Structure 1
Amino acid sequence: MEEDWTNVNIYDKSVSCIMASNANLSRYCSNVLISINAAAAICYSVTNFLRLSTDFKENLNISSRVLPVKMKFPFKVDVSPLFELLAVGQILHVVSIATLVGMMNCLIITLVLHVSGQIDILRRELLTICGNGISQRDSIVTSVRLVIIRHQKIITLSENIEELYSDIALMQFLSNTVVICCIGFTIIASLVRDGAIVVILKSAIFYVAVTLEAFIFCFAGEYLSAKSKSVGDAAYEALWYNMTPAECRILLFVILRSQKRLTITAGNVMDLSLEGFTSVMKASASYMSVLHAMY
């Protein structure tokens, strides 16, 4: 990415505009995702912090405060200001972990959007190979050679993203399926109990954040695959009929290579796509219904 930004021609406004628009979009998506994760962590922690567990012993209403994250200490923690300090420390810890997870999700969006921007630049170069009345054979061959080099760089970057996020995506898929199932079951089971509003408030945003996390990985893989296949369409839409048969055969290899779509897999088991996201949601709903029937 640094090399692409370093080599961008500041005098080519269209290339700069493509890269800047993708960078702005990734920045906007990152802010939204980090905000949602932080809001889910704060909502989950604050509802526990404000909740009071009331025990009735010997006809006395004894109220004990509950920490956001349940822990056992060898000393009494429900006295001020120790309780407040521990509660604030736990909230800050939970929010920092949620923000870190959001940053990991933002990174894959940033990488995929950067690759898509490079693909848009590649498609633009393919469409303008013979669009300016170029008659010199050397100029066309040079342009095609530069297109192939850029395409190979895009493939290499995509493979690096796949290598980085393949195992992470597999763990996310497995954990998100279980977490979505458990949170959904908790929300359904709490509807018939007292204090359902507190449980729903605590779990709803967290449910949205976990579901959005699974959707991000699947959408990134789907978007990358769709963009990679558009390279072949751009090569076919180029003015190849102004080239010699030898030069057209070079473009044919570009079309053939683009048919092998770029993608991100979950541990080399399945491709990340919107179909995979629906499979996760279906599996979570199935497990949820089984738990609800057993409960």
Structure 2
Amino acid sequence: MDHSESSQCASLLYSHEDQARIGDLFTAQVITFKATGQIPLKIGQPHKVKFLVVFIYSFVIISQTFFVGMLFLKTSYDMLINGKLEEITDAVTMTIIFWFSTYAACYWLLRSRRLFAFLQYINQYYWHHSLPGLSFVSWHRTYVLSKRVTIVWTVVCMAGTFVYGLQPLVTGVRVLPLKMWYPFDPLQPYVYELLYVQQLSAQIVMGITFSNGSSLFVSLVILMCGQFDVLFCSLKNFTYYSRLRANFELEKLSKEQAELPTYLDDELNQYLYCKELLTDLSILEHLHALQPPKAFPAALKSGVEQCVHLHRFILEACKEMEELFNPYCLVKSIQVTLQLCLLVFVGVAGERSLVRILNLVQYLTLTVIELLMFTYFGELLREHSLRCGEAFWRSQWWTHTHISAIRQDVLIMLVNTKRAVRLTAGKFYVMDIERLRSVVTQAFSFLTLLQKLAAKP
């Protein structure tokens, strides 16, 4: 398929249920990253002024969690000398949370140019629906789902940290939400109010920063799984595509389309997110009239080549995603392991007030959900990437192997279908369900150790 034909098909809607191509898939994700200083803002100012404004904004946002992390570090040191074990674990838990928030913000800020280029790469080359055929799948559903995941998870994380910060107002006690060391009396007039606002702001920034990495990870996995669905439908129907390009016999094709199995009768679980729909052949007939027909071997080769190119795009996008996320996931695994252990211990051995228990359960729930997001969706992408071979066999490609023009492309596709996509933590661990089990096991091993230490006189 030449460039002009590709452009026409890209802007074509196959039926009234098809959706138009979207120019920017990551608007919601980029907004949350910019709000927390992890992607520099774009402003129309001279280069030096722009750099200064962007630097100041990112510094102000990131410094909120950094300074709280520094104060908690001093608090943890003091507790190690004079505090009880419950107070030590409480301080260390908050230290880990705020230091990871600072790490995450700095990590994405330093890699923001590469991240932004990666998102633009997906925006430019993704397929929003499959090759023309008797049926098709549209990618729009995965876009809507990824956007909803980002918005809902960001709101949940922000609300969770915000509610934690409202504890003093709920109890009616004049204390700060975060119990940490200050070199002065934090409860004196005006100073208390200022510190309260600063702590609440730092907690909200921390919550959004936490949500950014996991929501982007899940969004990218959903979008890539949607691309695999588009590829599976293209592989399944590329023979029909070749016939449409070679000799458009509307009456015969319409009869075959009427005999296609319905969504409920067809093989279940062919697609993860997308739904296969019937094509309006009258639209394709109009496109066919604008283009010179191809010989069947040439049309078949064109269809296979496009499937190979789409699969290569998906594999390259997943490879870049792995390069971007594997350092982040390594630190995230360590942070979640320690945080899970400490939160459970503090909840078991610490203060028994209702508000405190609710806050700890809330933080624990968010931690477990975030761990599930990384491991479950990592497993989902790996398993889905191995199903290319199943989709390729549905096309009955072997009936066309006498056409020498497609043999090399078929071999390339068969080899590529054996390549599983793996997202790792620092190249050490694969982010899958096994990693979830490992993190939980390690966390409760540390918990048992802490309980034994607490039992000693």
TM-score (norm 2): 0.56
Greater CA deviation, 275-284 or 76-85?
76-85
The SS at the match of 1:129 is helix
- Residue of structure 2 in register with 1:279 after alignment: 438
Contact 2:301 2:406 (C-alpha < 8 Å) held by counterparts: yes
- Residue of structure 2 in register with 1:228 after alignment: 385
Matched letter for residue 201 of structure 1: L
Matched letter for residue 413 of structure 2: V
Evaluate the alpha carbon distance shift between residue 187 and residue 74 of structure 1 in structure 2; reply closer, same or farther with a 3 A threshold. Answer: closer
- Residue of structure 1 in register with 2:83 after alignment: none
Match of 2:367 among 210, 213, 220: 210
- Structure 2 CA distance, aligned partners of 1:271 and 1:6? 26
Number of aligned residue pairs: 281
- Is 1:18 the counterpart of 2:178 in the alignment? no
- Structure 2 CA distance, aligned partners of 1:131 and 1:186? 62
- Structure 1 CA distance, aligned partners of 2:319 and 2:434? 21
- Structure 2 CA distance, aligned partners of 1:14 and 1:94? 53
- Is 1:97 the counterpart of 2:206 in the alignment? yes
- Structure 1 CA distance, aligned partners of 2:144 and 2:236? 25
- Structure 1 CA distance, aligned partners of 2:441 and 2:162? 29
- Structure 2 CA distance, aligned partners of 1:180 and 1:289? 12
- Structure 1 CA distance, aligned partners of 2:392 and 2:129? 23
- Residue of structure 1 in register with 2:451 after alignment: 292
- Is 1:189 the counterpart of 2:309 in the alignment? no
- Is 1:255 the counterpart of 2:375 in the alignment? no
Matched letter for residue 183 of structure 1: L
- Structure 2 CA distance, aligned partners of 1:30 and 1:286? 33
The SS at the match of 2:139 is helix
CA drift at 1:282: 1.5
Matched letter for residue 300 of structure 2: I
Contact 2:146 2:218 (C-alpha < 8 Å) held by counterparts: yes
Percentage identity across paired residues of the two chains: 21
- Structure 2 CA distance, aligned partners of 1:136 and 1:14? 17
CA drift at 1:69: 2.2
- Structure 2 CA distance, aligned partners of 1:101 and 1:16? 37
Contact 2:161 2:203 (C-alpha < 8 Å) held by counterparts: yes
Matched letter for residue 156 of structure 1: E
**Long gaps (5+) in structure 2:** 1-120, 244-294
Matched letter for residue 178 of structure 1: L
> Which structure 2 residues correspond to residues 21-40 of structure 1 after superposition, within 5 A?
21-40=141-160
CA drift at 1:79: 3.6
- Structure 1 CA distance, aligned partners of 2:312 and 2:242? 27
Contact 1:129 1:239 (C-alpha < 8 Å) held by counterparts: no
Evaluate the alpha carbon distance shift between residue 278 and residue 48 of structure 1 in structure 2; reply closer, same or farther with a 3 A threshold. Answer: farther
CA drift at 1:252: 4.2
CA drift at 1:17: 6.5
Evaluate the alpha carbon distance shift between residue 12 and residue 244 of structure 1 in structure 2; reply closer, same or farther with a 3 A threshold. Answer: closer
Evaluate the alpha carbon distance shift between residue 70 and residue 15 of structure 1 in structure 2; reply closer, same or farther with a 3 A threshold. Answer: farther
Contact 1:116 1:224 (C-alpha < 8 Å) held by counterparts: yes
CA drift at 1:244: 2.1
Contact 1:9 1:15 (C-alpha < 8 Å) held by counterparts: no
- Residue of structure 1 in register with 2:317 after alignment: 157
- Residue of structure 2 in register with 1:118 after alignment: 227
Match of 2:299 among 129, 139, 147: 139
- 1:182-240 CA-to-partner distances (Å, cap 9, x unmatched) read 000111113xxx63323211211101111111111112211111221111110111121
CA drift at 1:285: 1.6
Evaluate the alpha carbon distance shift between residue 161 and residue 251 of structure 1 in structure 2; reply closer, same or farther with a 3 A threshold. Answer: same
- 1:242-265 CA-to-partner distances (Å, cap 9, x unmatched) read 312473664343233222200100
- Structure 1 CA distance, aligned partners of 2:183 and 2:314? 56
- Structure 1 CA distance, aligned partners of 2:136 and 2:208? 30
RMSD (CA atoms): 2.8
Matched letter for residue 204 of structure 1: V
- Structure 2 CA distance, aligned partners of 1:169 and 1:125? 33
Evaluate the alpha carbon distance shift between residue 292 and residue 16 of structure 1 in structure 2; reply closer, same or farther with a 3 A threshold. Answer: farther
Contact 1:236 1:255 (C-alpha < 8 Å) held by counterparts: no
- Residue of structure 2 in register with 1:148 after alignment: 308
- Is 1:177 the counterpart of 2:337 in the alignment? yes
CA drift at 1:77: 3.2
